[in-house]
Chain A
Amino acid sequence: MSETQPQKTERPLSPFMLGTLYRFQLTSFTSILHRATGVALTVGLLMFAWWLVAAAIGPGPYDVFMNFAGSAPGMLLLFGFTVAFYYHLANGIRHLIWDTGLLFKIENAYRAGYAVLLFTAVLTAITWYCVLMKAGI
């Protein structure tokens, strides 16, 4: 440590955005969820890659994939990816709109946030209704 080094002082840190210190905000909740679903979809890309590579290798590995995708854990995973996909898609569009400078008024940011959640729920429900109908369940 040289003499020129400024004294290190403990600076106060603002608390984490989620937790008991702040009132619940839809905006911070949708923001963190955007990142979480982004990471989830990255994992989904690996399953996507498995699907394509297995199909390229041949019917054997493809059937292994299809059996997994149709199993209970596989379907649960795919359901999670569906929710993450629709959420990230809708909230991504909300972010793109923000990039143009619109929807920054608090009530509009909230309205768009609720619209994203509604879109996710409705599209996930429609998608899985179609999937289960097609599978004959």
Chain B
Amino acid sequence: MPESDILVRARGLTKRFGDFTAVDGIDFELRRGEAFGFLGPNGAGKSSTMRMLGCVSPPSGGELTILGLDPVSKGSVIRARLGVVPQEDTLDVELTVWENLLIYGRYFGLPRQVIRERIERLLDFVQLSDRADDHVEPLSGGLKRRLTIARSLINEPDILLLDEPTTGLDPQARHVVWDRLFRLKQQGVTLILTTHYMDEAEQLCDRLVIMDHGKIVAEGSPRELIDTYSTPEVLELRFDPSTHEQAAEKLTAVPADRMEVLADRILLYIRNGDDALASAHDLGLDPLTSLVRRSTLEDVFLRLTGRRLED
């Protein structure tokens, strides 16, 4: 890989706030054109990492190079080439959709005519053209997110940073955002996103790292991570709470790779889920519900950290 295609390089990157270490010595590289994800629960250090990448938070230790530049001494120059979709909306709710984009274009020192053309194009892209003159305040969460995405693209960034881009959106609004982000990816825009939704990571990321307690615990494509850390299938069984523990004990007799006993379910990690279900029935077990499914990143996360993502 040519050096110029590595857009971000982090070595031992660390962020401390007083005694608390939010990011604890992480290494990663981001390549041009890829969609790279940080997957982890709340408090894993994802947002702190994103703020360092956005050059609004100086690293406390380690090395970080963005677009070949030092984020501390060249922060302003780097930020001119980034697009940022923050976790919480930072729109000016007093202004209209159009004015928000105009102000942001000015922040980048773009000429008025260029800003105008881009606003037209971006509003069309996020399907907000008919709302251009509306005030931002009453817009729904989904529309505000789309406006924030349009705003982040006003400078045609080399890298787009998205911190939990669909957190708090209803499922329908989330799918619209995913669709737009997928199109950007198809257009070759380099994306970095954080999420605690495994389906978001699976849909959008070519490559991702799983973070927990400020550290990277695994790295790879969603497929690689699932192949490495989980089994092809998972059998989910739900029992009456009174027999839950007993059942878990009996199920150890089923030749599964691994078993997770959650509060409400028992998960058996296994090559063939239907065979495992048959074995469970042979043991005289009668689950209330049973489900055979493919492994997901959620299972990878559970395996690596012992916890669930969205807890």
Are A and B genuine complex partners? no
Residues of B within 8 A of A (CB): none
Interface residues of A (CB under 8 A from B): none
